[in-house]
Amino acid sequence: MSTTIISADAAWERSALRQTRDDTALRITIRGHNPVKAVRAPIDIALVLDRSGSMGGDKIQLAKKAVTAAIDLLEPGDRVALVSFDHEVDVVQPLATATSHTRAEIRRNLEPVTARGSTALADGWLTGCQQLAAAIPPAGVRLQRAILLTDGQANIGITDIGELSTHASQLWARGISTTALGIGTGFDEILLSSMTEAGGGNFQYIEHPSQLAAFFAREIGGLTELAALHPRLEITLPRGLRAHLLNRFPQRREGKTITVDLRDLIDGDEIDLVFTVTHRGNLDASSSHVRATLTATDPARHEPVSLTVDIPALSFVSDTEAERAPVDHAVAILRASEQAICEQREALRLDREGRFAESRALFAQSRDRLADADAMAAVTGYAGIDHDRVHRIQSDLADSRNLAAAPATALGEDVHKSRTARHTHHSRGGRRDQDQQ
């Protein structure tokens, strides 16, 4: 079913399950549509710059370039704030209309910023968010983005990943998203990816200055094609069925209903949500019916939109019939890809803890899963399987082979940073022009 701005469809990996115990996967594909491609909604942006001691040398200059690259893309109706922090926090530029004078002031005030001190990351970021939250918004839809630029790890104030992610989720519920750019190899990629996943934004590992222009072109310039604000999926399962979302989106459960908060959609965006669905035989007559509703805000009309996702019914059959039931290979391959991402993220965590044998075993498990998925795709002639996804699987398969065979010593920081950024991007429905990262 579709509306002007969003559409969704669903498919089961297998819709005929054993009556005793069984599991399957449910794919729900959500798309954003903006055929008009109207002038984008104005944006309030708070740039939060880490100036702690570890940012010395080229990194502070790169961060300054990132700030100027961002403000160069702002339009007269936008507003901008700049916060810098080490162990102290300074509001370099309170939120103000992005006039030529404001932009010139930001550039001038950036010049004397030098690296020093420790890293009060939470205080700096929250101060930037407060600039957005305290502002009186003009009439109409207005986007609010906090962009954190850092090379370090939080070591003053709030440092717990769970607590920071909770704050990010609460801010996102108020309309303030969090995006983070990790500069160099000293930052905590788990912290930044967790904050951005909870906060509805993006996480980017900046290895080279050349990446900045393209990143901000997507983060700010791409909002011209904004299709849907704050899309949210609610899926309700009958008694006897349990579901687990493999993707990295904020979710909460209330009874048998799972609510998933997605990121804003631009025209052409496509997000594949993959749920593993299980049962243990304690079914009733209504257990074949899974319900789902998708809601969002139309940024052009400033109105809520809602649609019911058509989910095919399940059937519960004998073991023999279940073994013969058809399999949707596209869904099976997508499930394998998402499960492999989960395994690789856990493998990276184990490597951080020095548990190298367990880490390599999980990379090997991911390798085997992806190899099976690639073989399945080849047997079907890649029918109905997106070309970009095949490319991702094959690329991830090659990486998993190398990582499974890596020596039992700590992996390099670039591996941790680049793989975490890639996992976050792909699992959350990466945009088309980012797929080659």
Query: What separation in angstroms does the CA of 65 have from each of 61, 98, 107, 134, 264?
Result: 6, 17, 10, 27, 26
Looking at per-residue confidence, does 363 or 43 come out higher? Answer: 363
Q: 100: which 2 tokens?
A: 């030529």
Give yes or no for a contact between 196 and 202, defined as CB atoms under 8 angstroms apart: yes
What is the distance between the alpha carbons of residues 65 and 72, in angstroms, rounded to a whole number? 10
The residue-averaged pLDDT of 117-145 equals 85
Q: What pLDDT, on the 0 to 100 scale, is given for residue 38? A: 60
Burial classification of residue 410, based on how many CB atoms lie within 10 Å of its CB (0-12 exposed, 13-18 middle, 19 or more buried):
middle
How many angstroms separate the CA atoms of 186 and 182, rounded? 9
- pLDDT, mean of residues 125-138: 87
Please report the pLDDT score of residue 354 as a whole number: 97
pTM (2 d.p.)? 0.89
Check residues 202 and 213 and name the one with the higher pLDDT. 202
Digit-coded pLDDT (tens) for 339-355: 999 999 999 999 999 99
Is 44 in a helix, a strand, or coil?
Answer: strand
**Is the pLDDT at 51 greater than 80, yes or no?**
yes
pLDDT of residue 432: 45
- Is the per-residue pLDDT at 1 higher than 60? no
Is the pLDDT assigned to residue 137 strictly greater than 80? no
What span, in angstroms and rounded, lies between the C-alpha atoms of 295 and 303? 11
- Given a cut of 60, is residue 193 above it in pLDDT? yes
Choose the CATH number for 6-33+231-324 among 2.40.50.100, 3.30.360.10, 2.60.40.740, 3.40.50.170. Answer: 2.60.40.740
What is the CB neighbour count within 10 angstroms for residue 319?
Answer: 11
- Looking at the DSSP bridge assignments, the partners of residue 16 are 315
Per-residue tokens: 367? 């390798």
Name the amino acid, one letter, at 343: E
pLDDT the model gives residue 335: 95
Mean pLDDT of the chain: 88
pLDDT of 223 above 80:
no
Predicted pLDDT at 435: 42
CB 70 within 8 A of CB 147: yes
pLDDT over 60 (residue 406): yes
Predicted pLDDT at 287: 66
Percent of the chain with pLDDT over 90: 59
Rg of the chain over all Cα atoms, to the nearest angstrom: 23
- Is residue 107 scored above 90 in pLDDT? yes
Among 80-89, 120-129, 286-295, 303-312, the minimum mean pLDDT is found in 286-295
Of residues 399, 416, 421, 400, the one with CA closest to residue 352: 416
pLDDT digits (tens, 9 = 90+) for 141-175: 678 999 999 987 888 899 999 999 999 999 998 88
User: Which pLDDT score, from 0 to 100, does residue 140 have?
Assistant: 57
Amino acid at position 412, single letter: G
Element (H, E) at 198: helix 189-198
- What average pLDDT does this structure show over 247-253? 90
Q: Can you give the pLDDT at residue 40?
A: 67
Residue 389 sits at the vertex; the CA angle it makes with 28 and 165, to the nearest 5 degrees, is: 60
Mean pLDDT of 360-372: 97
Instruction: Using CB atoms within 10 Å of the CB of residue 118, give its burial: 0 to 12 exposed, 13 to 18 middle, 19+ buried.
Output: middle
pLDDT level of residue 138 (50, 70, 90 thresholds) = low
Q: Which residues contact 111 (CB under 8 A, 6 or more apart)?
A: none
Q: What percent of the chain has pLDDT over 70?
A: 92
With tokens 């890809």, the residue in question is 337
Whether the Cβ atoms of residue 30 and residue 9 lie closer than 8 Å to each other: no
In this prediction, residue 371 carries a pLDDT of 95
Query: Span 21-49, mean pLDDT?
Result: 87
> Apex CA 257: angle with CA 253 and CA 259, to 5°?
65
Q: What is the pLDDT of residue 139?
A: 55
Phi-psi group of 263: left, alpha or beta (phi > 0 → left; psi -120 to 50 → alpha; rest → beta):
beta
Angle between helix 58-71 and 100-110 (nearest 10): 180
Residue 98 has what pLDDT? 94
Pick the CATH number of 43-219 from 3.40.50.300, 3.90.1200.10, 3.40.50.410, 1.20.1740.10: 3.40.50.410
Q: Where in the chain is the domain with CATH 2.60.40.740?
A: 6-33+231-324
Residues of the chain with CATH 3.40.50.410: 43-219
**pLDDT band (50, 70, 90) for residue 2:** very low
Residues 6+ apart with CB under 8 A from 277: 23, 24, 25, 26, 237, 241, 242, 243, 290
- For position 437, what pLDDT does the model report? 41
Residue 23 is predicted with a pLDDT of: 95
Q: Which residues pair with 297 in a beta bridge?
A: 229, 304
Q: What is the pLDDT of residue 430?
A: 56
Identify the pLDDT of residue 433.
Answer: 43
Q: Does the pLDDT of residue 394 top 50, yes or no?
A: yes
At residue 62 the predicted structure's pLDDT band, cuts being 50, 70 and 90, is confident
Q: Which amino acid is at 126?
A: L
| Banded pLDDT at 258 (limits 50, 70, 90) | very high
Confidence of residue 284 (pLDDT cuts 50, 70, 90): low
| 434, pLDDT greater than 50 | no
CA contacts within 13 A on the Cβ side of 128: 32
